[in-house]
């Protein structure tokens, strides 16, 4: 089952499936350190890519990745939390850690004059392009395609780039109240579409 998983430090050789991830998490719960290393080899690049995008700083993303893997090891015994959804579970740990770090960082750094912000903005545009091309492939893609362009852009900036309402407003150049309602209504429409 794990034959295709190669040297953990040699990079991702294929897409990680939830079944692989769940089996490795189960072994982590048994304090099998080799399983953690295999798991790291399988998912660290994806997690690191997402953390970089959210945190816009290599140093912070490296720190966050450490925290995430330590937490995964500590919580591997919570089988109910990740059964059938290993990647979603790890990504949620990663996103929550990043949002926590963003909060503490904002208290010390002013984001208005951050160069990193502009860089992230640019890569955010690529993302929107990509999600548009992905539109037909998945239910989520299709439902996102059904939102207004503003709703889709706001939700993507929030989820993929980790922008707060304020940051989205600044990025798209619209008033805060308008942005909040785009996000809110977009989520309501998404839910309706995904449940239909």
Partner 1 sequence: MKYTDRQLLDRLAAQYVVGTLRGRARSRFERICVGNEYAMAAVKRWEDRFVGMLAQVKPVQPPQQVWSAIEQRLGLADTASQGFVAKLFGFIGTRAGAGVFAALAVVTIAVGMLVQQSLRLEPVAVIAQEARGELWRVQASRNAKALVVEATASVTVDATHSYELWALPSSGAAPVSLGLLPTRGSAKLTLTEAQRLALSGSAKVAVSLEPVGGSPTGAPTGPVLHVADVTKSS
Smaller CB separation from partner 1, 13 or 114: 13
Give the CA radius of gyration of the chain: 18
Nearest approach, Cβ of residue 109 and partner 1 (Å): 16
Is the CB of residue 24 less than 8 Å from the CB of residue 42?
yes
Out of 5, 21, 52, 169, the only residue in the binding site for partner 1 (CB under 8 A) is 52
Out of 117, 121, 142, 165, the only residue in the binding site for partner 1 (CB under 8 A) is 165
Is residue 3 within the footprint of partner 1 (CB under 8 A)?
no
Residues 119-148 that bind partner 1 (CB under 8 A): 127, 130-131, 134, 138, 140-141, 144
Nearest approach, Cβ of residue 31 and partner 1 (Å): 5
Is the CB of residue 159 less than 8 Å from the CB of residue 94?
no
Nearest approach, Cβ of residue 71 and partner 1 (Å): 11
CA dist., res. 171 & res. 53, Å (int): 15
Is residue 170 within the footprint of partner 1 (CB under 8 A)?
no
Out of 22, 75, 135, 145, the only residue in the binding site for partner 1 (CB under 8 A) is 22
Start-to-end Cα distance in the chain: 35
CA dist., res. 159 & res. 154, Å (int): 9
Nearest approach, Cβ of residue 99 and partner 1 (Å): 6
Q: Segment contacting partner 1 (CB under 8 A): 21-29, 110-118, 170-178?
A: 21-29
Binding string to partner 1 for residues 60 to 99, with x set by CB under 8 A, is what?
-xx--xx--xx--x---x-x---x-x-xxx-xx--x---x
86-106 helix and 18-29 helix, angle to the nearest 10 degrees? 80
Strand (E) or helix (H) holding 191? helix 176-195
Nearest approach, Cβ of residue 187 and partner 1 (Å): 4
Tokens 């980790």 found at:
162
**128 in helix, strand or coil?**
helix
Is residue 101 within the footprint of partner 1 (CB under 8 A)?
no
189: nearest Cα among 125, 160, 146, 156: 146
- Centre a 10 Å sphere on the Cβ of residue 8 and count the other Cβ atoms it contains: 16
Q: Name the DSSP class of 15.
A: P
Out of 13, 14, 17, 49, the only residue in the binding site for partner 1 (CB under 8 A) is 49
């Amino acid at each position: 089952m794990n034959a295709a998983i190669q040297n953990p430090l040699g990079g991702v050789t294929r897409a990680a499936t939830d079944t692989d991830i769940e089996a490795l998490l189960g072994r982590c719960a048994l304090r099998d350190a080799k399983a953690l290393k295999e798991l790291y080899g399988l998912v660290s690049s994806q997690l690191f890519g997402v953390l970089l995008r959210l945190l816009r700083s290599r140093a912070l993303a490296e720190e966050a990745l450490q925290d995430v893997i330590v937490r995964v090891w500590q919580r591997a015994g919570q089988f109910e939390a990740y059964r059938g959804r290993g990647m979603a579970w790890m990504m949620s740990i990663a996103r929550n850690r990043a949002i926590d770090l963003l909060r503490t960082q904002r208290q010390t750094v002013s984001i208005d004059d951050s160069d990193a912000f502009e860089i992230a903005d640019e890569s955010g545009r690529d993302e929107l392009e990509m999600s548009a091309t992905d539109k037909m492939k998945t239910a989520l893609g299709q439902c996102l395609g059904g939102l207004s362009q503003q709703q889709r852009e706001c939700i993507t900036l929030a989820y993929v780039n980790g922008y707060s309402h304020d940051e989205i407003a600044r990025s798209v150049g619209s008033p805060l109240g308008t942005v909040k309602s785009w996000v809110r209504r977009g989520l309501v429409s998404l839910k309706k579409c995904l449940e239909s």
